[in-house]
Chains A and B, each alone.
Chain A
Amino acid sequence: MSGEGQLRRALSALRHDPLAVTGTAVLTLLVVVGVAGPWLAPAGVNEVNVDRMLEQPSWSHPFGTDELGRDVLSRVMVAARVSLQVGAVSVGIALLVGVGLGLFAGYYRGWLDNVLMRCMDVLFAFPVLLLAVAIVAVLGPGLLTAMIAIGVVYTPIFARVTRAGVLSVREQVFVRAAVSIGASDLRIMRRHVLPNIAAPLIVQTSLSLAFAILSEAALSFLGLGVQPPAPAWGRMLYDGRGFVTEAWWLGVFPGAAIFLTVLAFNLVGDALRDVLDPRQLTVSEARRSAG
């Protein structure tokens, strides 16, 4: 009831934010392309045509062709699925594990907090890519291991953000009030703590989605993610690197795809943060009715 009401109001507020609309439009396009890419693509991803290799963008090949004469537009479209999949699954892993750990650490404090957060600190201490590379090295290259590796790498951020939020919320009087009426710990966490830290988590999720897609691109660039001949934006950048001077389109289009995706996630994340907090919602509503 009330939850739906809140969501409806949030969505209506989102509709009035041009940046959010732009970001959502780009993301929608991406999802459509990600789902239907193989059918929408004008040519097959691995349709080799050596007669037409390294052709400039033209009407028949809007993004040009690569060194094997494959259509770059088709490959960029099909690769969208991999990027979105990696982003969603790896951030999903990080969100689930990180929020869970942060919630328990922050709520119960004590030795549990110490043990969990020191483990997170150890993970945090490694540079993101180095840790991902190490995990992939242990598990073997491939799409699944890339997703797991990126998920592990981003878990500590969610644990930290969650714990910080929980620490401040659990001292609030309304949490004491919930304790006083005999609510159980799990109920307090679910009902009172989580909704109050949702805003930073949503922002962190959107940022992490963007970074996870970047990390996948980097792993693929290093040859540790998606394996050829399957297309991936990072892998395409890597392959195009040898032709920067002759064939700029090999790098520019996959790079632009990465850039647009990351930007869209950030725009939507920012807008969501503004809108999901009921106190801020009234401010934006007030501004709208005043203006």
Chain B
Amino acid sequence: MSDVPVLAIEDLTVTIGTRRGPARAVAGVEWSVRAGQTLALVGESGSGKSMSMLAATGLAPRSARVTGRVHLLGTELTGLPDDQRRRMRGRHVGFVFQDPMISLNPVLTVGRQVTEAAEEHLGLTRRAARTRAVELLDLVGIPSAATRVDSYPHQFSGGMRQRVVIAMALACEPDLLIADEPTTALDVTTQAQIVELVADLQRRLGTAVVWITHDLGVVAGIADTVAVMYAGRILEQGSVDAVFANPSHPYTAALLAARPDPAAGGGELVTIQGSPPSPLDLPAGCAFWPRCPVRGDARCEHELPPLVPVSADHRVRTFYPHPADGESR
């Protein structure tokens, strides 16, 4: 079992029909994640990181055309009828969404919501579901879970709600947990607690985790592998150690350089000039070219660079890999 990736995506492309023509949100994305491992998808807003996950699990909007191959525990998902795919997803995948203030139903008690998936997919009775709900709330560190199980979401703080959402995602003992910027809407101390909670649960349950984020600090802390996305494509992917030690794409290097550095004091923050291209009008060549500090040549402008290996567990999509570590920019 350990040899089969929990989720493997190959050549995933998502095109969304809009009034102004087709928008290519994701193009040729390829990655896999194994049990007990964490993959971080990193990118700016609109880089396709969330859309690639939604499309892979069959949750893309109806106007989206999805092609490519998606294997969940070895089963090809893309060809499955909606109903079977829905059952596979419910049974094996748990989702944690960005904003816990709106991802819980305000008129149901948290207990009912936490076990909703379990009731549907494992056929739990009401009483068994309640017992399970208390267990789950306890597991995610909600104090006095036995009484809190009958509370409504508005009676919880943001961090506690996100714990409830995580409990909900874990109800069916999923093989894969997808966390879509789960800490973005929380304050910093709560963020750290949630990150620690997920890491701890992963150690105990052996779940594979896909963590969608734009917080590189979180990536460094918890991920095993990372994929950096830009304008729907992966620009660089590999083990976190390799990518962080040796960021080979100018974009990754710029992202890492843009992190605020407390040691450097209160100087001006480094930014990347410009903004990402519109998915309606993508350049023929490298999508990052107009903003690239390296500013290659006509080849960058007209020809799409392939993903080439830098080392055994590290690939990058550029004609001009960033200088190896040690050199300054």
Binding site for B on A (CB under 8 A): 1-2, 5, 172-174, 176-184, 187, 191-192, 195-196, 198, 277-279, 282
Contacts and interface: CB of A to CB of B under 8 A. Distances in A.
Interface stretch (B11-19, B94-102, B262-270, B315-323): B94-102
Nearest to B90: A182
B168 interface: yes
Given A2-B109, A196-B105, A278-B106, A173 B99 contact: yes
B107 interface: yes
Contact of B102 (A172, A191, A196, A198): A172
A278 B154 contact: yes
B114 to A, nearest CB: 11
Dominant secondary structure at the A interface: helix
Q: Which of A177, A178, A196: most chain B Cβ within 10 A? A: A177
A218 B118 CA distance: 53
Contact of B59 (A180, A183, A278): A180
B102 A174 contact: yes
A196 B113 CA distance: 14
A130 B91 CA distance: 54
B121 A182 contact: yes
Q: Which of B90, B130, B171: most chain A Cβ within 10 A? A: B90
* Leading 6 A-B pairs by shortest Cβ distance: A182-B90, A181-B117, A2-B109, A173-B103, A180-B95, A174-B105
23 contacts: A1-B126, A1-B150, A2-B111, A2-B112, A2-B150, A5-B109, A5-B150, A172-B102, A173-B102, A173-B103, A174-B103, A176-B59, A176-B97, A177-B95, A177-B103, A180-B59, A180-B89, A183-B90, A183-B120, A184-B86, A187-B120, A192-B105, A278-B106
A174 B95 contact: no
A180 B116 CA distance: 11
B154 A279 contact: yes
A181 B102 CA distance: 16
A176 B59 CA distance: 9
Given A173-B99, A181-B94, A278-B152, A196 B86 contact: no
A54 B126 CA distance: 64
Contacts of A184: 86, 120
Interface in B71-130: 86-91, 93-95, 97-99, 102-109, 111-113, 116-117, 120-121, 126, 130
B209 to A, nearest CB: 15
Nearest to A199: B107
Given A174-B105, A279-B154, A181 B120 contact: yes
Contacts of B165: 177
Contacts of A180: 57, 59, 89, 93, 95
A277 B165 CA distance: 22
A177 B150 CA distance: 20
Contacts of B102: 172-174
Contacts of B59: 176, 179-180
Nearest to A182: B90
Contact of A177 (B106, B111, B168): B168
Given A2-B150, A176-B97, A195-B107, A181 B90 contact: yes
